[in-house]
A and B are shown apart, each in its own frame.
Chain A
Amino acid sequence: MSLIELKDVYFSYNDDTKAIDGISFNIEQGSYTTIIGHNGSGKSTLAKLIAGLLPIKSGEILIDGLSVNEENISKIREKLGIVFQNPDNQFIGSTVKDDIAFGLENRLVKSEEMEKIILEYIDKVGLNKFMDYEPQNLSGGQKQRVAIAGILAMRPEIIIFDEATSMLDPKGKKEIKQLMADLAKDDTITIISITHDIEEVLQSDNCVVLNNGKLFMHAKPEEVFSHPEKLRDIDLDIPFIEKVKEEFKHRKIKLKSSDLKGLVKELCQYHSNH
């Protein structure tokens, strides 16, 4: 049984347009799945449906065998955490420590135990120096790290990143992506990342491509990018490395590598052979 199962899910904000139009796929435990698609393709809506923040119109989403609905919502919230796009709008506490405490307070963790958990996760995201800082004195990347610590402290099985890096500067983006890659190594945590960052997709195990609320593709990243023309049809970009490979393909030179180092090596070998 998969950890997350989507069965023919439908959703619409108003009656005329379907934001999510009959989507089915499974996500395995411990995997790292990226969801891509152009603006308005239904990515964020899908994340909110999985997290139970929006009610499904028809179909079913199962998390660990539990259907996402009003009745199971508190059990599902225990299994799942979500990091949103805007670093400011998810900072609830007045300091870093208070913000991490917010989720624990909701979970009825005793005050004596809280301090230890808070310090543990502040350390995990590397914010030891900043634990008494107020949000206005933190950078966007630091605030996102606080949000991640706040969610990790609740020990979820699933973490959804809803475009968590899109409002950050390049440095913050890099830090958060690194943190996500580290988390992905942990087999007990399943990661779903909604992203515009094509390079991030290459880090993931699986990629879900959405187009106009429909499932366009669900495959390994290499396979997704092996059809560049298909992705271009739905206004999606492809990674730099795939662009290079495509250009060489037009010149009848086939390259196989899927990482930059390998590609450079392959090109050098090709150059010395011809």
Chain B
Amino acid sequence: MKGLVFGKYIPIDSIIHKLDPRGKLIGLILMIIAVFIPKSWWAFLVIGLLVLLALILAKVGIKMIVQSFKPMIFMMLFLLVINSLTVKTGDVLFTIASVQVYSDAVFNTLFVIVRLMLMISITTLLTATTKPLDLTLGIEWLLKPLELFKFPTHEVAMMVSIALRFIPTIIEETMRIMDAQKSRGVDFENGSISSKIVSILSLIVPLFSVAFERAYELADAMEARGYVPGAKRTRYHILKFKYYDYIFIFICLATMVFSILTRIYL
């Protein structure tokens, strides 16, 4: 679990960290559109430079982003093979084992890869610079219009924030149960698939039973402190847009418009 980079919050102080989570979420949506629309390298260059600038401002470190690309290497190779076999337009670049590789196959693959890399960079940038709780508040705000259709945005946000709060607790619990079962002779690492399934079962059953017990106690604790689902509540954290949030959203919007224009005119 320690190697997990994607989606991890990095607590440092930067201008990107200070941005309003709602603004960042809107920015994320705009940038994803901007990444998926264009077919011109110019657009990717501009978006890439902007993302790089944001990464530098956020002090996240390029290393971390590069690390999050690693799981994609296999997918890139897979895409290249599939594209080489199916796309037969453009010029023949070279021939391997009697398969002619056309230029469009390589370009198509590169396009997809660049898009994915930009997407991953943008989302990692969001999760690395925004506290999970702030993210929940932002998502809740974005879902507000759904309240017209009786969608319980507040309850969903409460559920998500409690789930986030309990992730470390449950991981700790999992480790403890694994140790307890190991000490009773359960082998999680070796053996056939069927024996592994049996050992995993000896982990999952107690884990679920403890999780349910926790849920009951948590419900009691919440109720005792006056929580009524669906009732009006005030907020401790109040989100406020500042001037730099508007600038940020404007930049993202301009990028999206630019990438749409490149699609039309280039």
Q: Which residues of A contact B (CB under 8 A)?
A: 48, 51, 53, 74, 77-78, 80-82, 84, 86, 88-94, 97-98, 101-111, 114, 118, 134-136, 150-151, 154
Say yes or no for B5: interface residue by CB 8 A criterion: no
Given A101-B236, A106-B233, A135-B165, also A151-B225 (CB < 8 A): yes
Q: Tell me whether chain A's interface is mostly helix, strand or loop, or mixed.
A: helix
Tell me the chain B residues, 74-112 only, with Cβ under 8 Å from chain A: none
17 pairs, A vs B, C-beta closer than 8 Å: A77-B225, A88-B169, A89-B217, A89-B218, A92-B225, A94-B164, A98-B237, A103-B225, A105-B235, A105-B236, A106-B227, A106-B231, A111-B234, A114-B234, A136-B168, A136-B169, A154-B226
In the complex, what's the smallest C-beta–C-beta distance from B237 to chain A, in angstroms?
Answer: 8
Report how far A107 CA is from B233 CA in the complex, Å. 7
In the complex, what's the smallest C-beta–C-beta distance from A92 to chain B, in angstroms?
Answer: 6
In the complex, what's the smallest C-beta–C-beta distance from A78 to chain B, in angstroms?
Answer: 7
Q: Which residues of chain A come closer than 8 Å to B162, judged between CB atoms?
A: 92
Say yes or no for B172: interface residue by CB 8 A criterion: yes
Of B165, B232, B234, B235, the contact of A93 (CB 8 Å cutoff): B165
Nearest A-chain residue to B131, judged by Cβ: A94
Report how far A136 CA is from B172 CA in the complex, Å. 9
A77-B224, A89-B217, A90-B221 given; name 12 further pairs at CB < 8 Å.
A51-B224, A77-B226, A84-B221, A89-B218, A94-B164, A102-B225, A103-B225, A104-B234, A106-B226, A110-B234, A111-B238, A151-B225
In the complex, what's the smallest C-beta–C-beta distance from A109 to chain B, in angstroms?
Answer: 6
Nearest B-chain residue to A80, judged by Cβ: B224
Q: Which residues of chain B come closer than 8 Å to A91, judged between CB atoms?
A: 165
Report how far A80 CA is from B224 CA in the complex, Å. 8
Of B172, B222, B231, the contact of A92 (CB 8 Å cutoff): B222
Given A53-B220, A86-B217, A92-B162, also A98-B236 (CB < 8 A): yes
Q: Which residues of chain B come closer than 8 Å to A86, judged between CB atoms?
A: 214, 217
The number of residue pairs between A and B whose CB atoms lie closer than 8 Å in the complex comes to 92
Judge whether B223 and A53 touch: CB under 8 Å. yes
Given A77-B226, A136-B172, A150-B225, also A92-B218 (CB < 8 A): yes
Judge whether A106 and B214 touch: CB under 8 Å. no
Judge whether B234 and A108 touch: CB under 8 Å. yes
Given A104-B236, A110-B234, A111-B236, also A81-B224 (CB < 8 A): yes
Judge whether B235 and A82 touch: CB under 8 Å. no
Report how far A53 CA is from B223 CA in the complex, Å. 8
Question: A104, A105, A135: which has the most chain B beta carbons within 10 Å?
Answer: A105
Of B220, B234, B235, the contact of A84 (CB 8 Å cutoff): B220
Nearest B-chain residue to A151, judged by Cβ: B225
Say yes or no for B133: interface residue by CB 8 A criterion: yes
User: Residues 183-197 of chain B: 1 if any A CB is under 8 Å from the residue's CB, otherwise 0?
Assistant: 000000000000000
Q: Which residues of chain A come closer than 8 Å to B220, judged between CB atoms?
A: 48, 53, 84
Judge whether A94 and B168 touch: CB under 8 Å. no
User: Residues 141-165 of chain B: 1 if any A CB is under 8 Å from the residue's CB, otherwise 0?
Assistant: 0000000000000000000011011
Judge whether B221 and A89 touch: CB under 8 Å. yes
In the complex, what's the smallest C-beta–C-beta distance from A123 to chain B, in angstroms?
Answer: 17
Judge whether A105 and B233 touch: CB under 8 Å. yes
Judge whether B165 and A92 touch: CB under 8 Å. yes
Judge whether B225 and A111 touch: CB under 8 Å. no
In the complex, what's the smallest C-beta–C-beta distance from A82 to chain B, in angstroms?
Answer: 5
Q: Which residues of chain B come closer than 8 Å to A74, judged between CB atoms?
A: 226, 228
Say yes or no for B7: interface residue by CB 8 A criterion: no
**Nearest 4 CB-CB pairings of A with B:** A101-B236, A90-B221, A106-B226, A89-B217
Say yes or no for B48: interface residue by CB 8 A criterion: no
Report how far A53 CA is from B161 CA in the complex, Å. 24
Nearest A-chain residue to B220, judged by Cβ: A53
Report how far A136 CA is from B173 CA in the complex, Å. 12
Judge whether A84 and B217 touch: CB under 8 Å. yes
Tell me the chain B residues, 200-250 only, with Cβ under 8 Å from chain A: 214, 217-218, 220-228, 231-238
Q: Which residues of chain A come closer than 8 Å to B164, judged between CB atoms?
A: 94
Report how far A172 CA is from B238 CA in the complex, Å. 34
Q: Which residues of chain B come closer than 8 Å to A118, judged between CB atoms?
A: 236
Judge whether A108 and B232 touch: CB under 8 Å. yes
Nearest B-chain residue to A101, judged by Cβ: B236
In the complex, what's the smallest C-beta–C-beta distance from B265 to chain A, in angstroms?
Answer: 47
Q: Which residues of chain A come closer than 8 Å to B165, judged between CB atoms?
A: 91-94, 135
Nearest A-chain residue to B225, judged by Cβ: A103
Q: Which residues of chain B come closer than 8 Å to A111, judged between CB atoms?
A: 234-238
In the complex, what's the smallest C-beta–C-beta distance from A105 to chain B, in angstroms?
Answer: 5
Q: Which residues of chain B come closer than 8 Å to A150, judged between CB atoms?
A: 225
